[in-house]
A and B are shown apart, each in its own frame.
Chain A
Amino acid sequence: MATPDLVDDLLAGKHRALARAITRIENRSPGYRDLVAALYPHTGNADIVGITGSPGSGKSTLVDKMAKHYRDRGLTVGVIAVDPSSPFTGGAVLGDRIRMASTATDMDVFFRSMSARGSLGGLSTATADAVKALDAFGKDKIIIETVGAGQNEVDVVKTADTVAVLVPPSSGDDVQMLKAGILEIGDVFVVNKADLAGSDKTVTELKNMLDMREGDPDDWDPEVVETVANSGEGVASFLDVLDAHADWLDESGRREAERHKRHAEELRNLLREDASELVEDELDARGGVDELVERIDAGETTPYDVADDVIEPLADCLDQQRD
Protein backbone atom coordinates (compact mmCIF):
# COMPACT_ATOMS: atom_id res chain seq x y z
CA MET A 1 0.00 0.00 0.00
CA ALA A 2 1.31 3.46 -0.89
CA THR A 3 2.33 5.67 2.01
CA PRO A 4 -0.39 8.35 1.62
CA ASP A 5 -3.15 5.69 1.59
CA LEU A 6 -1.64 4.00 4.60
CA VAL A 7 -1.55 7.30 6.47
CA ASP A 8 -5.17 8.09 5.51
CA ASP A 9 -6.35 4.66 6.63
CA LEU A 10 -4.41 4.92 9.89
CA LEU A 11 -5.86 8.34 10.66
CA ALA A 12 -9.32 6.97 9.79
CA GLY A 13 -8.90 4.42 12.57
CA LYS A 14 -8.21 1.24 10.59
CA HIS A 15 -6.39 -1.28 12.77
CA ARG A 16 -4.78 -3.04 9.86
CA ALA A 17 -3.22 0.21 8.66
CA LEU A 18 -1.84 0.92 12.14
CA ALA A 19 -0.39 -2.59 12.32
CA ARG A 20 1.13 -2.28 8.86
CA ALA A 21 2.59 1.15 9.62
CA ILE A 22 4.34 -0.21 12.71
CA THR A 23 5.74 -3.10 10.65
CA ARG A 24 7.18 -0.65 8.10
CA ILE A 25 8.73 1.35 10.91
CA GLU A 26 10.18 -1.79 12.50
CA ASN A 27 11.55 -3.08 9.20
CA ARG A 28 12.92 0.32 8.15
CA SER A 29 11.11 -0.38 4.89
CA PRO A 30 11.80 1.99 2.03
CA GLY A 31 9.82 5.16 2.59
CA TYR A 32 9.29 4.60 6.30
CA ARG A 33 10.66 8.04 7.04
CA ASP A 34 8.04 9.69 4.83
CA LEU A 35 5.44 7.71 6.72
CA VAL A 36 6.64 8.89 10.13
CA ALA A 37 7.00 12.45 8.83
CA ALA A 38 3.37 12.35 7.64
CA LEU A 39 2.19 11.08 11.03
CA TYR A 40 4.21 13.62 13.00
CA PRO A 41 1.72 16.53 12.80
CA HIS A 42 -0.97 14.27 14.29
CA THR A 43 1.01 13.36 17.39
CA GLY A 44 1.37 14.93 20.81
CA ASN A 45 -1.97 14.07 22.36
CA ALA A 46 -1.19 10.84 24.16
CA ASP A 47 0.31 10.30 27.60
CA ILE A 48 3.28 7.97 27.22
CA VAL A 49 4.24 5.76 30.15
CA GLY A 50 7.36 3.58 30.20
CA ILE A 51 7.42 0.44 32.33
CA THR A 52 10.66 -1.34 33.05
CA GLY A 53 12.13 -3.71 35.60
CA SER A 54 13.91 -7.03 35.85
CA PRO A 55 12.50 -10.20 34.22
CA GLY A 56 9.80 -11.74 36.37
CA SER A 57 8.98 -8.55 38.25
CA GLY A 58 5.44 -8.67 36.88
CA LYS A 59 5.51 -5.96 34.22
CA SER A 60 3.17 -7.68 31.77
CA THR A 61 0.58 -8.48 34.40
CA LEU A 62 0.69 -4.90 35.65
CA VAL A 63 0.38 -3.56 32.08
CA ASP A 64 -2.67 -5.78 31.56
CA LYS A 65 -4.34 -4.36 34.67
CA MET A 66 -3.37 -0.80 33.73
CA ALA A 67 -4.98 -1.22 30.33
CA LYS A 68 -8.13 -2.57 31.97
CA HIS A 69 -8.34 0.38 34.37
CA TYR A 70 -7.81 2.90 31.57
CA ARG A 71 -10.51 1.21 29.49
CA ASP A 72 -12.89 1.33 32.47
CA ARG A 73 -12.24 5.08 32.59
CA GLY A 74 -13.25 5.30 28.93
CA LEU A 75 -9.74 5.79 27.54
CA THR A 76 -8.14 3.97 24.63
CA VAL A 77 -4.79 2.28 25.07
CA GLY A 78 -1.76 1.33 22.97
CA VAL A 79 0.96 -0.96 24.25
CA ILE A 80 4.41 -1.60 22.79
CA ALA A 81 6.16 -4.51 24.49
CA VAL A 82 9.85 -4.99 23.71
CA ASP A 83 11.50 -8.38 24.17
CA PRO A 84 15.08 -9.42 23.53
CA SER A 85 16.13 -11.23 20.37
CA SER A 86 18.73 -13.92 19.94
CA PRO A 87 22.18 -12.50 19.21
CA PHE A 88 22.87 -15.60 17.09
CA THR A 89 19.82 -16.11 14.88
CA GLY A 90 17.95 -12.82 15.33
CA GLY A 91 14.94 -14.91 16.31
CA ALA A 92 12.76 -13.99 19.26
CA VAL A 93 9.90 -15.22 21.36
CA LEU A 94 7.65 -12.29 22.12
CA GLY A 95 5.80 -13.53 25.12
CA ASP A 96 4.10 -10.67 26.86
CA ARG A 97 0.88 -10.66 24.92
CA ILE A 98 -0.04 -13.88 26.68
CA ARG A 99 -0.79 -11.97 29.87
CA MET A 100 -3.17 -9.43 28.30
CA ALA A 101 -6.16 -11.48 29.42
CA SER A 102 -8.26 -8.69 30.97
CA THR A 103 -8.61 -6.89 27.66
CA ALA A 104 -8.75 -9.87 25.28
CA THR A 105 -10.86 -9.19 22.16
CA ASP A 106 -11.09 -5.47 23.04
CA MET A 107 -9.69 -3.88 19.88
CA ASP A 108 -9.42 -0.51 21.65
CA VAL A 109 -6.38 -1.94 23.36
CA PHE A 110 -3.79 -2.19 20.62
CA PHE A 111 -0.98 -4.42 21.82
CA ARG A 112 2.12 -4.80 19.71
CA SER A 113 5.23 -6.88 20.42
CA MET A 114 8.60 -5.69 19.19
CA SER A 115 11.91 -7.47 19.25
CA ALA A 116 15.21 -5.77 19.97
CA ARG A 117 16.66 -7.14 16.68
CA GLY A 118 20.10 -6.51 18.10
CA SER A 119 20.31 -3.14 16.38
CA LEU A 120 22.64 -0.59 17.88
CA GLY A 121 20.57 2.32 19.14
CA GLY A 122 18.01 1.59 16.44
CA LEU A 123 15.57 0.14 18.92
CA SER A 124 14.80 3.40 20.65
CA THR A 125 14.23 5.14 17.30
CA ALA A 126 11.94 2.34 16.10
CA THR A 127 10.04 2.32 19.39
CA ALA A 128 9.63 6.09 19.43
CA ASP A 129 8.33 5.98 15.86
CA ALA A 130 5.92 3.15 16.66
CA VAL A 131 4.65 5.24 19.58
CA LYS A 132 4.04 8.09 17.12
CA ALA A 133 1.89 5.79 14.99
CA LEU A 134 -0.24 4.89 18.06
CA ASP A 135 -0.40 8.55 19.06
CA ALA A 136 -1.53 9.66 15.58
CA PHE A 137 -4.08 6.83 15.57
CA GLY A 138 -5.65 8.58 18.57
CA LYS A 139 -4.72 6.44 21.55
CA ASP A 140 -5.16 8.30 24.87
CA LYS A 141 -2.58 6.31 26.82
CA ILE A 142 0.46 4.57 25.42
CA ILE A 143 2.48 2.13 27.49
CA ILE A 144 5.99 1.05 26.53
CA GLU A 145 7.05 -2.11 28.30
CA THR A 146 10.65 -3.29 28.23
CA VAL A 147 12.98 -5.56 30.13
CA GLY A 148 15.37 -3.36 32.05
CA ALA A 149 18.54 -5.20 31.26
CA GLY A 150 20.83 -2.81 29.47
CA GLN A 151 21.45 0.60 28.05
CA ASN A 152 19.31 -0.14 25.03
CA GLU A 153 16.27 -0.63 27.24
CA VAL A 154 17.03 2.46 29.28
CA ASP A 155 17.02 4.49 26.05
CA VAL A 156 13.69 3.00 25.11
CA VAL A 157 11.86 3.93 28.30
CA LYS A 158 13.40 7.39 28.17
CA THR A 159 11.18 8.03 25.15
CA ALA A 160 8.25 8.03 27.63
CA ASP A 161 6.86 11.06 29.49
CA THR A 162 6.68 9.14 32.73
CA VAL A 163 8.85 6.18 33.67
CA ALA A 164 7.84 3.52 36.19
CA VAL A 165 10.44 1.04 37.43
CA LEU A 166 9.26 -2.22 38.93
CA VAL A 167 11.31 -3.49 41.83
CA PRO A 168 10.46 -6.96 43.14
CA PRO A 169 10.57 -7.50 46.89
CA SER A 170 13.94 -8.68 48.22
CA SER A 171 15.70 -7.78 45.00
CA GLY A 172 19.01 -7.20 46.71
CA ASP A 173 20.55 -5.18 49.50
CA ASP A 174 20.67 -1.41 49.69
CA VAL A 175 23.97 -1.27 47.80
CA GLN A 176 22.13 -2.51 44.71
CA MET A 177 19.90 0.51 45.08
CA LEU A 178 22.88 2.84 45.18
CA LYS A 179 24.22 1.56 41.88
CA ALA A 180 23.80 3.72 38.84
CA GLY A 181 21.44 2.88 36.01
CA ILE A 182 17.87 1.90 35.96
CA LEU A 183 17.01 3.25 39.40
CA GLU A 184 17.99 6.73 38.29
CA ILE A 185 15.42 6.94 35.53
CA GLY A 186 12.27 6.22 37.54
CA ASP A 187 9.57 8.81 38.22
CA VAL A 188 7.61 6.14 40.06
CA PHE A 189 8.89 2.99 41.71
CA VAL A 190 6.53 0.07 41.94
CA VAL A 191 7.13 -2.65 44.46
CA ASN A 192 4.99 -5.26 42.76
CA LYS A 193 4.11 -8.59 44.34
CA ALA A 194 3.74 -6.57 47.54
CA ASP A 195 2.04 -9.54 49.19
CA LEU A 196 5.40 -11.34 49.30
CA ALA A 197 7.75 -11.32 52.27
CA GLY A 198 10.40 -8.60 52.12
CA SER A 199 8.14 -6.07 50.45
CA ASP A 200 8.16 -3.59 53.36
CA LYS A 201 11.93 -3.72 53.57
CA THR A 202 12.28 -3.05 49.84
CA VAL A 203 9.92 -0.06 50.11
CA THR A 204 12.01 1.35 52.98
CA GLU A 205 15.27 0.82 51.10
CA LEU A 206 13.87 2.54 48.03
CA LYS A 207 12.64 5.48 50.06
CA ASN A 208 16.03 5.81 51.75
CA MET A 209 17.74 5.75 48.40
CA LEU A 210 15.42 8.43 47.06
CA ASP A 211 15.92 10.61 50.16
CA MET A 212 19.63 10.75 49.40
CA ARG A 213 19.05 12.27 46.00
CA GLU A 214 20.33 15.78 45.63
CA GLY A 215 17.78 17.21 43.30
CA ASP A 216 16.58 20.65 42.43
CA PRO A 217 13.72 21.64 44.79
CA ASP A 218 11.55 22.09 41.69
CA ASP A 219 12.18 18.52 40.61
CA TRP A 220 9.57 15.83 40.76
CA ASP A 221 9.93 13.71 43.89
CA PRO A 222 9.82 10.09 42.76
CA GLU A 223 7.15 8.11 44.56
CA VAL A 224 7.11 4.54 45.76
CA VAL A 225 3.90 2.57 45.37
CA GLU A 226 2.98 -1.00 46.20
CA THR A 227 0.92 -3.20 43.92
CA VAL A 228 -0.23 -6.78 43.61
CA ALA A 229 -0.75 -6.87 39.86
CA ASN A 230 -2.25 -10.36 39.98
CA SER A 231 -5.22 -9.23 42.03
CA GLY A 232 -5.21 -5.64 40.80
CA GLU A 233 -4.50 -4.29 44.30
CA GLY A 234 -2.87 -0.86 44.28
CA VAL A 235 -3.20 -0.41 40.51
CA ALA A 236 -5.69 2.46 40.81
CA SER A 237 -3.40 4.43 43.14
CA PHE A 238 -0.45 3.68 40.85
CA LEU A 239 -2.37 5.22 37.94
CA ASP A 240 -3.20 8.24 40.13
CA VAL A 241 0.53 8.79 40.67
CA LEU A 242 1.12 8.54 36.91
CA ASP A 243 -1.59 11.16 36.36
CA ALA A 244 -0.07 13.37 39.04
CA HIS A 245 3.27 13.16 37.26
CA ALA A 246 1.62 14.06 33.94
CA ASP A 247 -0.02 17.09 35.61
CA TRP A 248 3.29 18.11 37.14
CA LEU A 249 4.93 17.92 33.69
CA ASP A 250 2.34 20.37 32.36
CA GLU A 251 2.32 22.75 35.32
CA SER A 252 6.10 22.94 35.74
CA GLY A 253 6.72 23.47 32.04
CA ARG A 254 8.83 20.32 32.02
CA ARG A 255 6.78 18.66 29.31
CA GLU A 256 7.90 21.34 26.86
CA ALA A 257 11.49 21.06 28.00
CA GLU A 258 11.43 17.27 27.76
CA ARG A 259 9.88 17.40 24.31
CA HIS A 260 12.60 19.76 23.18
CA LYS A 261 15.22 17.38 24.54
CA ARG A 262 13.53 14.44 22.85
CA HIS A 263 13.35 16.20 19.50
CA ALA A 264 17.05 16.96 19.73
CA GLU A 265 17.77 13.33 20.56
CA GLU A 266 15.61 12.19 17.67
CA LEU A 267 17.43 14.46 15.24
CA ARG A 268 20.78 13.25 16.49
CA ASN A 269 19.71 9.62 16.12
CA LEU A 270 18.56 10.14 12.55
CA LEU A 271 21.75 11.91 11.63
CA ARG A 272 23.83 9.23 13.29
CA GLU A 273 21.96 6.58 11.32
CA ASP A 274 22.48 8.47 8.05
CA ALA A 275 26.12 9.17 8.78
CA SER A 276 26.88 5.57 9.60
CA GLU A 277 25.22 4.55 6.35
CA LEU A 278 27.41 7.00 4.43
CA VAL A 279 30.43 5.48 6.13
CA GLU A 280 29.29 1.95 5.27
CA ASP A 281 28.93 2.96 1.61
CA GLU A 282 32.39 4.47 1.70
CA LEU A 283 33.83 1.28 3.19
CA ASP A 284 32.20 -0.74 0.41
CA ALA A 285 33.59 1.64 -2.19
CA ARG A 286 37.06 1.06 -0.79
CA GLY A 287 36.76 -2.69 -1.21
CA GLY A 288 34.91 -3.59 1.97
CA VAL A 289 35.74 -3.52 5.64
CA ASP A 290 37.53 -6.88 5.56
CA GLU A 291 40.13 -5.70 3.13
CA LEU A 292 40.96 -2.68 5.26
CA VAL A 293 41.06 -4.76 8.41
CA GLU A 294 43.47 -7.23 6.87
CA ARG A 295 46.06 -4.47 6.76
CA ILE A 296 45.42 -3.86 10.43
CA ASP A 297 45.72 -7.61 11.11
CA ALA A 298 49.06 -7.62 9.32
CA GLY A 299 50.33 -4.78 11.48
CA GLU A 300 50.67 -2.38 8.54
CA THR A 301 48.34 0.22 9.96
CA THR A 302 45.96 0.87 12.88
CA PRO A 303 42.19 1.31 13.18
CA TYR A 304 42.83 4.95 14.09
CA ASP A 305 44.75 5.69 10.89
CA VAL A 306 42.18 3.92 8.72
CA ALA A 307 39.31 5.78 10.38
CA ASP A 308 41.06 9.10 9.77
CA ASP A 309 41.58 8.10 6.16
CA VAL A 310 37.93 7.26 5.57
CA ILE A 311 36.44 10.25 7.37
CA GLU A 312 38.77 12.95 6.06
CA PRO A 313 37.21 13.43 2.60
CA LEU A 314 33.74 13.51 4.22
CA ALA A 315 34.82 16.18 6.67
CA ASP A 316 36.44 18.21 3.86
CA CYS A 317 33.28 17.98 1.81
CA LEU A 318 31.10 19.28 4.63
CA ASP A 319 33.58 22.04 5.34
CA GLN A 320 33.40 23.31 1.77
CA GLN A 321 29.60 23.14 1.68
CA ARG A 322 29.32 25.30 4.78
CA ASP A 323 31.35 28.18 3.37
Chain B
Amino acid sequence: MSHESQRNIRCLVAKVGLDGHDRGAHVITRAFRDAGFEVIYSGLHKAPEEIVQAAVQEDVDVLGISILSGAHNTLVPKIVEGLQEYDAFEDTLIIVGGIVPDEDREGLKEAGVDAIFGPGTPMEETIEFIRENVEQRD
Protein backbone atom coordinates (compact mmCIF):
# COMPACT_ATOMS: atom_id res chain seq x y z
CA MET B 1 0.00 0.00 0.00
CA SER B 2 1.35 3.43 -0.82
CA HIS B 3 1.86 5.55 2.23
CA GLU B 4 1.92 9.24 2.09
CA SER B 5 5.40 10.32 2.97
CA GLN B 6 5.78 13.26 5.36
CA ARG B 7 9.19 14.59 4.52
CA ASN B 8 10.35 17.75 6.23
CA ILE B 9 13.62 19.57 5.63
CA ARG B 10 15.75 19.10 8.75
CA CYS B 11 18.41 21.62 9.55
CA LEU B 12 21.05 22.00 12.25
CA VAL B 13 21.97 25.58 13.10
CA ALA B 14 25.39 25.32 14.68
CA LYS B 15 27.47 27.75 16.67
CA VAL B 16 30.99 26.44 16.76
CA GLY B 17 34.01 27.78 18.60
CA LEU B 18 34.44 30.69 20.91
CA ASP B 19 32.34 33.57 19.68
CA GLY B 20 29.62 34.46 22.13
CA HIS B 21 26.97 36.06 19.96
CA ASP B 22 24.05 34.00 18.82
CA ARG B 23 21.43 36.59 17.97
CA GLY B 24 21.95 35.91 14.27
CA ALA B 25 21.66 32.16 14.87
CA HIS B 26 18.40 32.72 16.75
CA VAL B 27 17.01 34.89 13.95
CA ILE B 28 17.86 32.31 11.30
CA THR B 29 16.46 29.49 13.45
CA ARG B 30 13.17 31.32 13.71
CA ALA B 31 13.11 32.12 9.97
CA PHE B 32 13.77 28.47 9.08
CA ARG B 33 11.01 27.37 11.44
CA ASP B 34 8.60 29.80 9.79
CA ALA B 35 9.66 28.41 6.40
CA GLY B 36 8.42 25.00 7.60
CA PHE B 37 11.81 23.46 8.36
CA GLU B 38 12.60 21.42 11.45
CA VAL B 39 15.45 23.20 13.11
CA ILE B 40 17.80 21.89 15.73
CA TYR B 41 19.84 24.62 17.40
CA SER B 42 23.18 23.54 18.86
CA GLY B 43 23.64 26.25 21.47
CA LEU B 44 26.80 28.32 21.95
CA HIS B 45 30.46 27.26 22.20
CA LYS B 46 30.27 23.85 20.57
CA ALA B 47 33.30 21.83 19.56
CA PRO B 48 33.43 20.49 15.98
CA GLU B 49 32.97 16.93 17.33
CA GLU B 50 29.72 17.96 19.03
CA ILE B 51 28.41 19.42 15.78
CA VAL B 52 29.33 16.24 13.92
CA GLN B 53 27.59 14.10 16.55
CA ALA B 54 24.43 16.20 16.29
CA ALA B 55 24.44 16.28 12.47
CA VAL B 56 24.90 12.50 12.23
CA GLN B 57 22.37 11.53 14.90
CA GLU B 58 19.73 14.00 13.77
CA ASP B 59 20.27 13.01 10.11
CA VAL B 60 19.90 16.62 8.98
CA ASP B 61 19.60 17.62 5.34
CA VAL B 62 21.27 20.94 6.01
CA LEU B 63 24.08 21.99 8.33
CA GLY B 64 24.19 25.74 8.83
CA ILE B 65 27.34 26.91 10.59
CA SER B 66 27.33 30.40 12.04
CA ILE B 67 30.76 31.85 12.71
CA LEU B 68 31.74 35.38 13.66
CA SER B 69 35.05 34.66 15.35
CA GLY B 70 37.26 34.34 12.28
CA ALA B 71 38.18 30.74 13.12
CA HIS B 72 36.29 29.31 10.14
CA ASN B 73 39.46 28.12 8.36
CA THR B 74 40.30 25.74 11.20
CA LEU B 75 36.85 24.77 12.48
CA VAL B 76 34.91 24.14 9.27
CA PRO B 77 37.36 21.58 7.79
CA LYS B 78 37.30 19.70 11.12
CA ILE B 79 33.52 19.42 10.88
CA VAL B 80 33.74 18.24 7.27
CA GLU B 81 36.27 15.56 8.21
CA GLY B 82 34.01 14.36 11.01
CA LEU B 83 31.03 14.11 8.67
CA GLN B 84 33.13 12.11 6.20
CA GLU B 85 34.13 9.72 8.96
CA TYR B 86 30.43 8.84 9.47
CA ASP B 87 29.56 8.82 5.74
CA ALA B 88 27.40 11.88 6.33
CA PHE B 89 29.25 14.40 4.16
CA GLU B 90 28.02 13.55 0.68
CA ASP B 91 24.33 14.18 1.25
CA THR B 92 24.50 17.03 3.72
CA LEU B 93 24.17 20.56 2.39
CA ILE B 94 26.70 22.69 4.27
CA ILE B 95 26.22 26.43 4.45
CA VAL B 96 28.18 29.00 6.41
CA GLY B 97 26.82 32.28 7.69
CA GLY B 98 28.58 35.15 9.41
CA ILE B 99 31.77 37.06 8.80
CA VAL B 100 33.94 35.40 6.16
CA PRO B 101 36.50 37.57 4.31
CA ASP B 102 36.41 37.29 0.51
CA GLU B 103 39.87 35.74 0.33
CA ASP B 104 38.75 32.80 2.54
CA ARG B 105 35.68 31.89 0.51
CA GLU B 106 37.33 29.81 -2.20
CA GLY B 107 39.18 27.76 0.41
CA LEU B 108 36.01 26.99 2.36
CA LYS B 109 34.24 25.89 -0.81
CA GLU B 110 37.14 23.62 -1.64
CA ALA B 111 36.85 22.20 1.87
CA GLY B 112 33.24 21.19 1.08
CA VAL B 113 31.05 24.19 1.93
CA ASP B 114 28.17 24.59 -0.54
CA ALA B 115 27.41 28.25 0.06
CA ILE B 116 28.46 31.21 2.20
CA PHE B 117 26.05 33.92 3.23
CA GLY B 118 27.51 37.15 4.56
CA PRO B 119 25.88 39.84 6.70
CA GLY B 120 22.83 41.43 5.11
CA THR B 121 21.84 38.43 3.01
CA PRO B 122 18.04 38.43 2.74
CA MET B 123 16.59 35.50 4.66
CA GLU B 124 14.54 34.47 1.62
CA GLU B 125 17.72 33.98 -0.40
CA THR B 126 19.12 31.46 2.08
CA ILE B 127 15.81 29.61 2.37
CA GLU B 128 15.43 29.49 -1.41
CA PHE B 129 18.98 28.17 -1.78
CA ILE B 130 18.23 25.36 0.67
CA ARG B 131 14.97 24.42 -1.04
CA GLU B 132 16.69 24.25 -4.41
CA ASN B 133 19.82 22.43 -3.37
CA VAL B 134 18.82 20.03 -0.64
CA GLU B 135 19.69 16.44 -1.59
CA GLN B 136 16.82 14.23 -2.63
CA ARG B 137 17.02 11.21 -0.40
CA ASP B 138 15.33 7.82 -0.31
B-binding residues in A (CB < 8 A): 15-16, 19-20, 22-24, 26-30, 32-33, 85-86, 89-95, 97-98, 104-105, 107, 110-113, 115, 117, 119, 122, 273-274, 277
Contact = CB atoms under 8 A, between A and B. Distances in A.
A111 B12 CA distance: 14
B47 A92 contact: no
Interface residues on B, range: 35 or more
B7 interface: yes
A70 B56 CA distance: 22
A94 B9 CA distance: 13
Interface in B1-44: 1-8, 10, 29-30, 32-43
B50 A115 contact: no
A28 B6 contact: yes
A322 B64 CA distance: 55
A113 B12 CA distance: 11
A149 B41 CA distance: 22
B37 A98 contact: no
B68 interface: no
Nearest to B10: A23
Interface of B: 1-8, 10, 29-30, 32-43, 46-47, 49-50, 53-54, 56-59, 86-88, 137-138
Contact of A89 (B34, B46, B87, B88): B34
B47 A104 contact: yes
- Most A CB atoms within 10 A — which of B46, B58, B137? B58
A115 B10 CA distance: 10
A22 B59 contact: yes
A14 to B, nearest CB: 8
A24 B39 CA distance: 18
Contacts of B57: 15, 19, 110-112
B59 A97 contact: no
Contacts of B2: 30
B56 A15 contact: yes
B20 to A, nearest CB: 15
A91 B138 contact: no
A27 B138 contact: yes
A32 B5 CA distance: 10
Nearest to A110: B57
A27 B87 CA distance: 21
Contacts of A113: 38, 40, 58
Given A27-B5, A104-B53, A92 B38 contact: yes
A31 to B, nearest CB: 9
A104 B50 contact: yes
B88 A16 contact: yes
A28 B5 contact: yes
Contacts of A89: 33-36
6 tightest A-B contacts by CB?
A98-B43, A91-B33, A19-B59, A89-B36, A105-B49, A23-B59
A121 to B, nearest CB: 13
